[in-house]
Structure 1
Amino acid sequence: MKEHSGYYIVQRQAIPEVLIKVVEAKKLLESGRVRTVNEAVAQVDISRSSFYKYKDDIYEFHDSLSGSTFTLTFQVDDEPGLLSDVLGIIAKSGANILTIHQSIPIDGVASLSISLQVIDEGVSVTDLSSAIGERTGVHKVQISGRGSGVS
């Protein structure tokens, strides 16, 4: 029998109310609308023990995929394998590619825009953009958009 990962996707109506309230309390804390766990649990009407019992085990699905997003823009020479090399650099960093936009090369150069999501807080956007810029054939790498928490 195949071993399970321990994760399930369950519709909201199947989740006990206390777990939904734990998620709401976590949101209150993360948003800064409350300062303490005591304030958060009082506002959503659950006990502190329930909060601490479940806080590390429940989160909204999109939260598991969230992270800082940013966009790198740069130019690349029209060279076979160059885009693949750039994507390899991004893959090694652990960033998730959200979108890729490339213009048709004019005079042997194409403009490229790649939107990325960084889940691992240890990933440095500056280091990633430098690594891409070091590849021969890549020019003018710029971080044109940033989400919160990007280093």
Structure 2
Amino acid sequence: MTSRKDFYLVRADMLTEAMEKTLQAKELLHSGKVTKINEAVHKVGMSRSAFYKYKDGIFPFHTMVREKIVTLSIILVDRSGSLSQLLGKVAETGANVLTINQTIPLQGRAQMTITIDTAPMQLELGDLIDWIEQLEAVEKIELVGTGS
């Protein structure tokens, strides 16, 4: 008999404090800012037992995404060069743009979806999203789908 594990995607604001602190401690360890679990749990203010309870069961979304194709929904300010700047950022990562769909700009903003092959990327998906979000012309970005 095999043991089946169910998985759920949960918004960050729905996590318990212990779960959030576990993620923070894991990030400290992963980044090398601390080298021992004792240091990490002390730094984030949680007990070792709580850390061990959650450490193997909670992961940042970007570390679980194994799919190579992602679709992003973006609200882009309508100004000359905005789309070019966005596509330039995507190209810098090594990702390949597969499709672009954009509405006619209304009230100075355009809704667009962009589908990207992330296989050749040199960074994590979460980093790509953060990078795009920092562009002045991008008002909002959301991951809306993944596939292989």
**What is the alpha-carbon distance in structure 2 between the residues aligned to residue 88 and residue 122 of structure 1?**
15
Q: In the TM superposition, what is the alpha-carbon distance from 1:147 to its structure 2 partner?
A: 2.7
Superposed, which structure 2 residues align to 1:42-121 within 5 Å?
Answer: 68-120=68-120
Tell me which residue corresponds to 1:129. 129
**What is the alpha-carbon distance in structure 2 between the residues aligned to residue 132 and residue 105 of structure 1?**
19
How many residue pairs end up in the alignment? 82
**Aligned-partner residue type, residue 83 of structure 1:** L
- Stretches of 4+ moved more than 2 A in 1? 120-123
Tell me which residue corresponds to 1:6. none
Q: Secondary structure at the match of 2:72?
A: strand
Q: In the TM superposition, what is the alpha-carbon distance from 1:94 to its structure 2 partner?
A: 0.6
Structure 1 residue runs of 5 or longer lacking an equivalent are: 1-66
Q: State the identity as a percent.
A: 35
Tell me which residue corresponds to 1:63. none
- Structure 1 length as normaliser, TM-score? 0.51
Q: Root-mean-square deviation (CA), in Å?
A: 1.5
**What is the alpha-carbon distance in structure 2 between the residues aligned to residue 128 and residue 100 of structure 1?**
17
**What is the alpha-carbon distance in structure 2 between the residues aligned to residue 73 and residue 99 of structure 1?**
12
Residue pair 2:75, 2:141 contacting (<8 A) in 1 also:
yes
Tell me which residue corresponds to 2:54. none
Residue 139 in structure 1 maps to residue 139 in structure 2: yes
In our comparison, the structure showing a higher alpha carbon Rg is 1
**What is the alpha-carbon distance in structure 1 between the residues aligned to residue 122 and residue 92 of structure 2?**
13
Q: In the TM superposition, what is the alpha-carbon distance from 1:139 to its structure 2 partner?
A: 1.3
- Per-residue CA distance 1:84-108 (angstroms, 9 max, x = gap): 0000000001111000000000101
Q: In the TM superposition, what is the alpha-carbon distance from 1:140 to its structure 2 partner?
A: 1.4
Structure 2 residue runs of 5 or longer lacking an equivalent are: 1-66
